[in-house]
Each structure stands twice: as structure tokens, then as C-alpha cells.
Amino acid sequence: MKPYLLLAGLLASGAASAQDMPVLTVYTYESFNTEWGPGPRIEENFEAVCGCDLQFVGVGDGASLVARLRLEGARTEADIVLGIDTNLTAAAAETGLFAPHGIDPEGLDIPVEWTDPVFLPYDWSYFAFVYDTSVVPEPPANFRELAESDLQIVIQDPRSSTPGLGLVLWIKAAYGDEAPAIWEGLADNVLTVTKSWSEAYGLFMENEADMVTSWTTSPAYHVIAEEDDSKDAAIFEEGHYVQIEVAGKVASTEEPELADAFLEFMLSDGFQGVIPTSQWMYPANTPEGGLPEAYSNLSTPETALLFSPEEAAALRDAAVAEWQSALSR
């Protein structure tokens, strides 16, 4: 930033600069826009090229983004909503509050073909059970082995957490009608169920549980930020369910061109390059410099599983009910 701009910003506390420049408001989940998340760096990179004021608004978690938008309806300030995953995009699209992006994304590095006309992906990873290699020397190779083991896992509640819902759909995708039997087998391995990812991962880090539902890319955090290579993700033969996080343009936006520019920017290096070391997920479009070295050492599954948004929406209630009744016995 130029010195005089900085000075102006300090003097006018942002209000004056916001008057001269168009504002783009992006609703995202809380953790995206903390000082440790990708928000601040992306904001800096986009504002360097857009001649605008990019404002991230952190709104709870991924699940509450759509609820917030529906609460506000067409009156919303949001121009972009960023942070829904494909398990929830059907419900989001159904609200009619989003407009098509009109972009033909080429060369995306995600494990499925992208055809969604409304939402665009920005990062992804595989759901997986993360463990400590010094505690669990031989991790299970599939859900049945996990169910037969004495290992204790912490999972998230699919009624309040997106990784929780991801695990339920993972087992549904891998086992279909047998999913309830798998859950019954897992019931004695489930140490507890938490409201959100943070509590579950916290319990795992306090050595309460042997494994925790997280992502195959989570170990990269420990390698890069803590120089600790003891965490790994257990790779299951059934394949791993994919979480793809997406953004969409709000139909009622007063800055449609700016919103389109942001979505274009989202797939470029200025955005994608920030993702690996702040979101700890794979960027949807690998930046020019490639991924950090720690990413090339990560365990990765052979098979990617994913329901289409429509399938996920149709299956969700029944799959969660199966989960609930199996674990309530």
C-alpha cells in the first residue's frame, strides 16, 4: 500500500476511502476471516487490483451462511457468499437468492468435473480420520476394521457441523443401505460427538481420542506451523468423501461486475496461493508456484467419493436419522 493511502486510511479511519470506492461485501464463515485465516491476505491481494473496498463479514460456520442469507432475504448487504460446501448448495440454490456465475472454469484441480452454473469451488480436501502415528502405529484400512478395533474416535454432530455431515454422507456413499450396520459397528468406537470441528480436534489434541474426523490435509498444519510430523490421515480402501467449498454471487447485488471480478480472482493465484497455509485445504486451482512441500508428503486416497448436491440434499435427512438411531442404541 502506498504511504499516503495508509495515512489517509489512518486519518479517515476507512470511512472516507469507502465513500470513494465501491464496496464488495463477502459473507463467509467466521474462521475464514480471522488473522490466522486467509481473509486478510486475500483482501489485500484483491484490493491491490480491484480499485474497491473488499469487506469480509464472518458469519458463524458454513451451515449458518445460508440461514443468514435467508434471514436477510433480498435486503442483504452481501454481494458474494463464500464458504458453503456441496452438501448444502442445493438448498442454497433453491432459495433463488443466487445468480449464475457465467464463468467457464478451466483446468480446475479438483477430483470431480465441475458443472455447477451457480457456485464456483475455491478449495477442497478429503474427509479423513486424523491420528498420531506414535499412538496408533497401525491405523485401520477401512470402516469395518475401525469398527472392530478398540480405537476411540471423536466425530462432529451432523446436525450442527459440516464435517459431521460429511462423515455421515461418506459412509452413506461407501456403503449405501449397509450404512446403518456400519454405524452400529462404530457405535462403541465413538467416544463422543461434538458441536463443531474445533471441540473435536481439541479433544484429539488433548489425547482424549485416538482419531478425529478432519481432513487429509490437516497434518500439513502440524508439519508447517509446528514442525511436527507425527500426525497423519488414515487412508480407507472404500475411498474418501470430498468436501468442496464454494462461493456464489448474490442475485440482489448492486455490484455485479465487481462480484464477477471477485469470482474470477478467486480462481487466480492471488487467492489460491493463500489457501494451502491458511485454510489447510487444497486450492481448487493450483497456483503457479505449486503446493508447499509438506503437501506432497500427505497421505492421499485412491478413490474420491461425492454425492451431487441434489443427491446429498435428498439423502441428508434419512442418513442423519440412520446415524442418530444407530448411535442412540
Partner 1 sequence: MAIGAQPLGPGGRAGVAAALAVPALIAVTAGAVLWQAGPGRGLSPADWSAVRFTLWQAAVSAVLSIGLAVPLARALARRRFRGRALLVTLLGAPFLLPTIVAVFGLVAVFGRSGALNAVLGWLGLPEVTIYGAHGVILAHVFYNLPLATRLILQGWAAIPAERFRLAATLGMDAAAVNRHLERPMLMRVVPGAALLVFVICTTSFAIALTLGGGPRATTVELAIYQALRFDFDLTRAAVLSLVQLAITGVAALLALRWVGETGIGAGLDRPVRRFDARGPGLRLLDGAVIMLATLFLVLPMVAVALRGLPAFIDLPASVWTALLRSLAVAAASTALVVAGVLAISLAVVRLGRRGHVLEGAALLAVAASPLVIGTGLFIIVHPFVDPGRLALPVTALVNAVMTMPFALRAVIPATQAAEAEFGRLADSVGLAGWTRLRLLVLPRISRPLGFAAGLAAALSMGDLGVIALFADPETATLPLQVYRLMGAYRMDDAAAAALLLLVVTLALFRAFDRGGRGHVEV
CB atoms within 10 A of CB 95: 12
Tell me, what amino acid is at 116? D
Is residue 66 at the binding interface for partner 1, with CB under 8 A as the rule? yes
77 vs 264, which CB is nearer to partner 1? 77
Stretch that binds partner 1, among 66-74, 109-117, 172-180, 269-277 (CB under 8 A): 66-74
Question: Binding residue for partner 1 (CB under 8 A) from 98, 127, 271, 280?
Answer: 280
Supply the minimum distance, in Å, between the C-beta of residue 193 and partner 1: 5
Is residue 127 at the binding interface for partner 1, with CB under 8 A as the rule? no
What is the C-alpha radius of gyration for the chain, rounded to an integer number of angstroms? 20
Question: Binding residue for partner 1 (CB under 8 A) from 180, 202, 256, 287?
Answer: 202
Are the CB atoms for 323 and 168 separated by under 8 Å? yes
Tell me, what amino acid is at 254? E
Is residue 277 at the binding interface for partner 1, with CB under 8 A as the rule? no
Is residue 218 at the binding interface for partner 1, with CB under 8 A as the rule? yes
Question: How many Å apart are CA 193 and CA 187, to the nearest integer?
Answer: 11
E strand segments, the chain: 23-28, 53-58, 80-85, 98-99, 119-132, 153-156, 190-194, 211-215, 231-234, 240-250, 282-283, 304-305
Is residue 57 at the binding interface for partner 1, with CB under 8 A as the rule? yes
Question: How many Å apart are CA 294 and CA 120, to the nearest integer?
Answer: 26
Strands 53-58 and 153-156: unpaired
Is residue 58 at the binding interface for partner 1, with CB under 8 A as the rule? yes
Give the interface size with partner 1 as a residue count (CB under 8 A). Answer: 58
- Grid cell in block for residue 13: 479511519
Is residue 198 at the binding interface for partner 1, with CB under 8 A as the rule? yes
112 DSSP 8-state letter: S
Question: Binding residue for partner 1 (CB under 8 A) from 208, 260, 269, 311?
Answer: 208
Is residue 67 at the binding interface for partner 1, with CB under 8 A as the rule? yes
Calculate the alpha carbon distances from 9 to 17, 78, 307 in Å. 7, 23, 47
Question: Binding residue for partner 1 (CB under 8 A) from 30, 47, 145, 311?
Answer: 30
Supply the minimum distance, in Å, between the C-beta of residue 33 and partner 1: 5
Positions that interact with partner 1 (CB under 8 A): 30-31, 33-37, 39, 56-61, 63-64, 66-68, 70-72, 75, 77, 91, 152, 157, 159-160, 187, 190-199, 201-203, 205-209, 218, 221-222, 225, 280, 321, 323-324, 327-328
